[in-house]
A = this chain, B = another copy of it.
Amino acid sequence: MKSIYIVGVGLIGGSIARDIRCLNPNIKLYGIDKNEAHLETALKLGIIDEKAVLEDVVKAQVVIVAIPVDATVVLLPEILDLIPDEALVMESGSTKLEICNAVAQHPKRRNFMATHPIAGTEFSGPKAAYSGLFKGKVNIICEVEKTAFKFQKVAMAIFNIMGMQIRYMDPASHDKHIAYVSHLSHISAFMLGKTVMEKEKNERDIFDMAGSGFASTVRLAKSSPDMWAPIFQQNKANIIETLEEYIKNLKTFKNFMEANAFDAIYQDMKNTNYIKHILNGKE
């Protein structure tokens, strides 16, 4: 590997680039981003060596796409059209089905690997990028059998330096499961933030009373709408299902409250405490 192109030099793309630096200092990293300011920042921070444009991927050995999932669906076929036969293209979106479908019939499908490195923070842009973001985290690879073996090897070398644990999954299962453990958390946090801020309009100083518990629960409400609105759109059916179950559980809780069924509430919480054991190592 000598020439790696990062399409989208934000938190994810920038952090992958920073890890790749450690793989081999002779690799030349090119950045492509429609946000010129991000590109300048990435250059200044040493995340990339040179700015580039989409057409430059004709010279790429590896292309890593880390942009919102709606843009991925549009750009991915164009990138595959452009790249040489010996190049690998990967993307890192939080949805997999629409993205895999978008390139399913592409003549260079075997040059492509669909991945979801499950890592991130509530921040975005190249300034938020750092080496080590992915260390010990899970990376879901979808339809691995559709990627040529020689390109799998290139991808694995990169994931290895990122320190990721690999899991294999079909795109539909990925989208269904990730709706629960990631997409629903974001909606839950956004709506909590909204509910409290609506209240705050009339009740000054309410946030003086907010402690670290509120901060933790609402943290994901700082996430980028540019990234998340397209995710919600692409994973619509699964997310609606999780939302229905979440709302149902909240309503049951409210009904218990109204009926003074605090024993049932106690038991519900006691059962849910089991999450302690599940979360071990996730924090």
List the interface of chain A (C-beta within 8 A of B).
118-122, 137-138, 140, 167, 174, 176-178, 180-182, 184-200, 203, 205-223, 225, 228-230, 232-233, 236, 239-240, 242-247, 249-251, 253-254, 257-258, 260, 262, 265-276, 278-279, 282-283
Contacts and interface: CB of A to CB of B under 8 A. Distances in A.
Nearest to A185: B217
B250 A254 contact: no
A106 to B, nearest CB: 26
A196 B180 contact: yes
A249 B181 CA distance: 20
Given A195-B246, A217-B185, A247-B251, A212 B266 contact: no
How many copies of this chain? 2
10 nearest CB pairs, A to B: A225-B269, A185-B217, A181-B210, A229-B266, A215-B282, A193-B275, A118-B211, A193-B272, A191-B249, A215-B283
Contacts of A233: 260, 262
Contacts of A207: 181, 278, 282
Contacts of A283: 212, 215-216, 219
Given A247-B250, A258-B240, A137 B217 contact: no
Contacts of A247: 247, 250-251, 254
A191 B222 contact: no
Given A240-B258, A250-B250, 6 more contacts: A122-B213, A177-B203, A182-B211, A185-B218, A212-B282, A212-B283
13 contacts: A118-B210, A174-B209, A187-B250, A192-B246, A197-B274, A207-B282, A212-B282, A212-B283, A215-B283, A218-B275, A218-B279, A225-B266, A232-B265
